[in-house]
A and B are shown apart, each in its own frame.
Chain A
Amino acid sequence: MVLLRVPSRVKAGLFFLGNAMLGTAAAAQAQEPPKPPQIVFNDSGGDMQKAMRDSFYNEFEKRFGIRVVTTSPVDAGKLKAMVESGNIEWTVTEIGPEEAMLAEKEGLLEPLDHKIIDLSDYPKHLQDRKYIMPKGVYTTVMGYSTDAFPAGKGPTSWADFWDVKKFPGPRTLRDSPIDNLEFALLADGVAPDKVYPIDVARAFKKLDEIKPHITVWWKTGAQSAQLLVDKEAVMGSAWNGRYFVAIKNGAPLKIEWNQGMIKESAFVIPKGAKDAYWGQKMLAVITDAKAQGIYANIITYPGLNLKSMEYVKPELQTFMPTHPDNLPKQVWTDAKWWLDNGKDMNERWSKWILAK
């Protein structure tokens, strides 16, 4: 309702903003496609969707007067079905890093329009992305209950995580080979820069050791932190934002950044999406340093725009994977390796889970 009342103001604003943002504003303005009443953004839902709403969606609506309708969850299969059937519901969708590469390989994505999306404040190696828009980072970190282990006396490496004598109690890890194979190698003493290509046999052999102590292989982000809160497990892995939200809500948890697996979160435009132009504009909003800062303040997933850290609250800085204290301790996930090996690893993982 509110939106219906603002278009005239927004139009005026748009003109100036457009000039400020785009070098070729005049040309772009001339051939700009008509505005749809709304675009559809598919994200992970839950806490993350709330954070997206308060940062990027509201900002986009304010700038362009186009409503952002949200759907969830993230589903590469659905993306494929949409593109293949030509009935594309989404304008923009979030997507897992390996799945994004798979989708790019299968030709399911619309190329990024670098005339609209400005990546000049991004790290150098990300600036020439063709299809996959890097939004931010997140890390699969270790966390533990400070009830079980007082701060400073908790596990600080995956070797500690594997050491059930020194740190007794049930554990939880994600039900997926991703991260876990890396953790196993790190626990087995492999140097962080030697993790890839993964020595699969060695990793599974090491995983055998911890298997009896895993009480739950978690499936959803919400589960991962809740299991520690409910004392079903004393330590585990989780995406850093999930632990942060639990800690913010008073849970006695601590995040251990050492040997966390850091990775990129990605957004893409499905090939042939109806309002692809406005999707590009949406992605442009997502690159905005201030909006990324607001987002990070809510859920501690920082943006990749290097200037966005300026907008992150000082007290939250240490919860960010990109904080100078945290970043060097972590290991970058090799999405390419997982693209090439993911299917085999998952089958092997399932077999391993079922093996007695």
Chain B
Amino acid sequence: MPASAQIAERRQSRMIPVLRGEQGPVMVGLLPVAFLGLLFLLPVLRLFLLSVEGGTLAHFDKAITSDLYLTVFIETFRIAAIVTCCSLLMAYPVAYVLSTASPRWVLIGLVFLMLPFWTSILVRTYAWMILLGRNGVLNQALLGAGVIKQPVALIFNTTGVVIGMVHVLLPYMVFPIYSAMLRVNRDLLLAAEGLGASGWSVFRRIFLPLTMPGVIAGTALVFILSLGFYITPALLGGGKVIMIAVLIEQQVRQFLEWGFAAALSCLLLVIAVLFYVLLNRLGRRETIA
């Protein structure tokens, strides 16, 4: 009894005020709830209804049994996973540098980080072409230096898609990690060092676990956003990379097959939610402290 009572009590204390019946927060919470309900839940419900139009699961059946859609779903996850890993590997050091930089450098760093947001996809694609294309700066330099004999395909394939997506999604990984790093009490690092930990141990035992919530949040954000990417893979993939959003878009815009598009979207949504729940669970274990 004591254990369960304790848990119940803790749950009670953790409950958001709305559920504890305080009036002010209810009013404050109402607006966003109404906003989300109206602009998110309702359309999702409609989407679901569309996917089972005619009262059959035929659309889902097609989506699951057709090898094309299965293949594309798998490809989509594969690319999302690669993009997430690359973003993480790049974002972690970037966030660390930012978290230790002076305010002025933080500002400059953030502006650079946000640049892709302010640049149109076409301009970005063109810029990558200039840099990485067959006649791009990098290939020219490598050819000139005699490192390679033939131009290397750096864009218009999966590599290009990953580069383009990481470029755009990096801020989504950097910000949660950066803010997690800012929250780490620097005394903890000194304390660990003083207690005999090497630099690596301080990182592995203290800094990394404490910034894990940021890593998990960033991973969830980037992975889920990656799943829905459409234009970047289309342009930088050279048409050789197909992600599920491309097929959904085709069904919606080209073939006016909204029922089937809705079924594909529902599947994608379910998978994204499952992934989020899974990560969240992992995150809760990490942040138990």
Residues on A lying within 8 angstroms of B by beta carbon are: 75-78, 80, 99, 102-103, 106, 170, 175, 214-220, 222-223, 226, 230-232, 342-343, 346-347, 350-351, 353-354
Contacts and interface: CB of A to CB of B under 8 A. Distances in A.
B238 A217 contact: yes
B122 interface: yes
A231 B134 CA distance: 8
B193 interface: no
A232 B122 contact: no
Nearest to B253: A77
Nearest to B234: A219
Contacts of B242: 350, 353-354
B22 interface: no
B75 A342 contact: no
A346 B238 contact: no
B255 to A, nearest CB: 5
B118 to A, nearest CB: 20
Given A347-B68, A354-B71, 10 more contacts: A99-B254, A102-B256, A170-B134, A216-B238, A218-B239, A230-B135, A232-B134, A342-B255, A353-B240, A353-B242
Contacts of B192: none
B187 interface: no
A30 B133 CA distance: 63
Contacts of A175: 234, 239
B129 interface: yes
A220 B240 CA distance: 15
B16 interface: no
Contacts of A220: 235
Nearest to B255: A343
Contacts of B272: none
B133 A232 contact: yes
Contacts of B114: none
Interface of B: 66-68, 71-72, 75, 122, 126, 129, 133-135, 153, 156, 234-235, 238-240, 242, 247, 250, 252-258
Nearest to A217: B239
A342 B254 CA distance: 9
B156 A351 contact: no
A343 B67 CA distance: 16
A274 B156 CA distance: 44
Contacts of A350: 68, 72, 242, 247
A213 to B, nearest CB: 12
A215 B156 contact: yes
A80 B133 CA distance: 39
7 A-B pairs with the lowest CB-CB distances in the bound complex, closest first: A217-B239, A175-B239, A77-B253, A216-B238, A77-B252, A216-B156, A351-B68
A218 B237 CA distance: 9
B141 to A, nearest CB: 16
Interface of chain B: mostly helix, strand, loop or mixed: helix
A216 B132 CA distance: 14
A214 B237 CA distance: 12
Contact of B122 (A214, A222, A343, A354): A222
A106 B256 contact: yes
A347 B62 CA distance: 12
Nearest to A106: B256
A223 to B, nearest CB: 7
Contacts of A346: 250, 254-255
Contacts of A231: 134-135
Given A216-B238, A354-B242, A232 B135 contact: yes
A232 B240 contact: no
A351 B67 contact: yes
A110 B223 CA distance: 44
A122 B231 CA distance: 39
B196 to A, nearest CB: 53
A217 B129 contact: no
Of residues B135, B156, B252, B257, which shows the largest number of chain A Cβ atoms within 10 Å of its Cβ?
Answer: B156
Contacts of A170: 134
A295 to B, nearest CB: 25
A353 B233 CA distance: 14
A215 B256 contact: no
Contacts of A219: 234-235, 239
B255 A232 contact: no
Nearest to A226: B126
A230 B253 contact: no
B255 A215 contact: no
A232 B129 contact: yes
Contacts of A75: 253
A328 B68 CA distance: 39
A76 B134 contact: no
Nearest to A218: B239
B256 A80 contact: yes
Given A216-B238, A350-B68, A351-B67, A343 B134 contact: no
Contacts of A218: 239
A163 B234 CA distance: 27
A330 B257 CA distance: 32
Nearest to B133: A232
Contacts of A217: 238-240
A214 B226 CA distance: 26
B134 A215 contact: yes
A220 B125 CA distance: 12
A294 to B, nearest CB: 28
Given A353-B240, A354-B71, A354-B75, A78 B133 contact: no
